[in-house]
Chain A
Amino acid sequence: MIKLLRKAIDGLSERTKTGPLQFIHPVFEAVDAALFDPDYAAAQAPFIRDALNAKRYVFSVVIAAMPILALSTWFYGYKVPLMLFLAYGLGALVEGIFAWSRKETISEGFLVTGILFVLIFPVTTPLWIFSIAVVFGIIFGKEVYGGVGNNIFNPALVGRLFVFISWPAAVSPPEYLKPAGRLLSYVGTGVDAITTASPLALFKTGNIADFHTLFVGPRAGCIGEISSVLIIAGGLYLIAVRVVNWRTIFALFTAVAAAHFALAGFAGKMMPLSLEFFGGGLLLGAFFMASDPVTGPSSKMSKYIYGAFIGACVVIFRRFTPLVESVMFSILLANAVVPLIDAGSRHFRKLKEKTYV
């Protein structure tokens, strides 16, 4: 069965390489690549120790995000998979146009970006705003820099940042839809539905959500923030298959705790540490966005610095700006600083080597 399918796709792919149907060739290439790559094996040394390529990275992230999306679909209704299809459709379209103009094949990277887009928006976001975010993020966050693997900023966060500045109330509303089993209902913009503030916003008005809601869920917020446990499980899976490097995440969490206690010393009026960790997008940002190998730094030392930078920024921005949430800004700011961190640690290493000689 699988061989038949493979033969069919290979045949179509071959046939469209030249001739009038040339322009749809990348589509077949993509299907072929997504299902069957890599189909070669090294016969001679050197062997690659672990065949971790972009494809495996992509599918690991998709697997890690699936339980979260499934739970969100249960609590928020079928608008969640609809948003996923929309993100994938628009992503494939934009990616396809650019791949076609560059005469390359479509890369599977947009599968990750698409899923991230769904995770970081509340379900009440109007679909047209969501679409603008997807298109803007993929064009200006990724394609202008040369496509997958060349981007400076996380494309999903660039798209969210753009619509966050343009329509703050739609992306980060004061009241989120209260999660409840509504698998078969469609949530529009949710104006008349039962709403509740996110834990961080609740804290600003002096209330603290109970720990069970924070940790297990369901918790009001963006689609991906429904349950901290599932995010942690997905993150641990990503670390276990070595898609995500633990150094960034370890440094990030340590820095959050350290900055929290350092600020509590003189700034007073801090939220409890459990809120800091489970109340906002920190876990989601840490496991799914800060750890992105493309926008992150390369050496071990700079990974620690990068993670610590994000963690410190999150705590500082949450305390000193009127924004309720700051993980998006912190990660993007850190992305901008990454080249300098890398250059700095290279410089430092050179100095150290010199002193040994």
Chain B
Amino acid sequence: MPWVEINKAACTGCGVCVETCPTDVLRLDTELKAFAVYEADCQGCFICQWDCAFEAIIVRIRSHQPGES
């Protein structure tokens, strides 16, 4: 399954990822850092990673094997 890792130190809170995420996963938190509020809707498309000018987001993927939950 895909998920996003946000490097809060690198995130400038510019909001580009919040604006462009196709499945509306991201918001800015109270400290104005990107935050995956709807992480279950992440489709692993890497759009946020490409659109981030500060390399503050990495999309991670976990493979699944048959039988694994």
Q: A and B: partners?
A: no
